[in-house]
Copies of this chain bind each other. A is one copy, B any other.
Amino acid sequence: MIIPKQKKLDDQQLKSLKKVLADFNCDIQAVGGTTRTIYAILGDERQELMLNRIEGLDFIARIDTIQSPYKLMDRKSELAMHKIKAGSINFGDDLIFIAGQCTIDIDNPQYFIETAHAVKEAGAHAIRGGVWKPRTSPYSYQGESKSIDILLRAREETGLPVNTEVMEYRHVEIAVKNKIDSLQIGTRNALNYSLLTKIGKLTADTQTLILLKRSMHMGSIAEFLCAAEYIVSNGNPNVLLCPRGTLPAIEGYRNYPDECITPLLKQKTWAPIVVDPSHSVGKAIYTPHAALAAVAYGADGIVIETHVKPLNGIGDDPKQAITPDVLTKLIPDAKALFTRRKAYESYLADSNPS
């Protein structure tokens, strides 16, 4: 990973750098962080002569050779300084809420619009809504592209950024063309490396937010971070990591809640952690408890299924979505805990200087 002296290389510098790399059959991939753009080496980076020549260039500050399998996602990476925003707020500065429906119902768009207004009112920072949906049965409703207009209308009316799930290249292309603010990779595609690679490339310029859900098996931290590395190493560093429960489920829940993985992730990576309590527990009556637990464990944000009329929702179990009035009550409680937790973490950091 090559760190330039200035915020970004100019065209002449880039050309010089590429020339050096070409001599060693390597190339670079720019990854534009908020503080500076860094340049990942593509190819065999363990060529000492090449590294020496790069370090000899007067516009290069240094080369980082992190030994982790997820060198850009690693919290020791230069990207640890990178700030990710939801709208105008930096993750880490406030607890971010992304709320809305599982699936946009094209026959009843008013529900989605009403929900969007209601979650804004409740204090949410972004709106979620499924245009396309991965469904266990090929005979279930899979969503359709024209629902994107309803999503865009919600954005226009509320002024909040919007998030939707993508399952294939075509979805990404349509979403990027429509300037969707945030794309979700669902749990079933969490290890679909072809899709992750493509998304990284297609959003390298737009710097669209990517909400990467954790795969539903009890996979390792490294596997999760490597999946995110596929996105970042292809040009887009705006990745959010989303625990959402693992299988086999706790009897009575949809999954085995895994918000507890948050501190383990934070020890390894700089990326914000946004927990999905709705899919973890799968029932609205338990969701607020799970959301608070996620904040207790260190979450930077919560993505929570919300619907003005849960029983009229399409998609997942209607008992999964909370109503906006519950969200209204939850957000201040969660923020109070967030503030207290941050004070607490400062205290611990001070008393355990290691």
Contacts and interface: CB of A to CB of B under 8 A. Distances in A.
Interface string A160-199: 0000000111000000000000000000110111110100
A286 interface: yes
A290 to B, nearest CB: 7
Contacts of A70: 137
Interface stretch (A8-16, A55-63, A113-121, A254-262): A254-262
Stoichiometry, copies per complex: 4
A314 interface: no
Interface in A60-79: 69-70
Contacts of A248: 217-218, 248
A340 interface: yes
A233 interface: yes
Interface in A256-288: 256-264, 280-281, 285-286, 288
A89 interface: no
Interface stretch (A31-39, A90-98, A147-155, A344-352): A344-352
Interface residues of A, number: 78
B220 A246 contact: no
A251 interface: yes
Contacts of A295: 296
Q: Which of A69, A135, A292, A326 has most B Cβ within 10 Å? A: A292
Interface in A181-227: 188-189, 191-195, 197, 215-223, 226
Contact of A292 (B135, B230, B341): B341
Contact of A226 (B137, B261, B344): B137
Contacts of A325: 351
A252 interface: yes
A187 to B, nearest CB: 8
A215 B218 contact: no
A317 B138 CA distance: 35
A225 to B, nearest CB: 10
Given A192-B192, A290-B260, A337-B337, A247 B329 contact: no
17 contacts: A134-B193, A135-B193, A138-B229, A138-B234, A167-B192, A167-B194, A169-B169, A216-B217, A216-B219, A217-B217, A221-B251, A256-B260, A264-B286, A285-B348, A288-B344, A292-B293, A336-B340
Query: Would you list the 10 A-B pairs with minimal beta carbon distance, nearest first?
Result: A217-B217, A292-B296, A188-B191, A168-B194, A293-B293, A293-B296, A257-B260, A248-B248, A252-B264, A217-B247
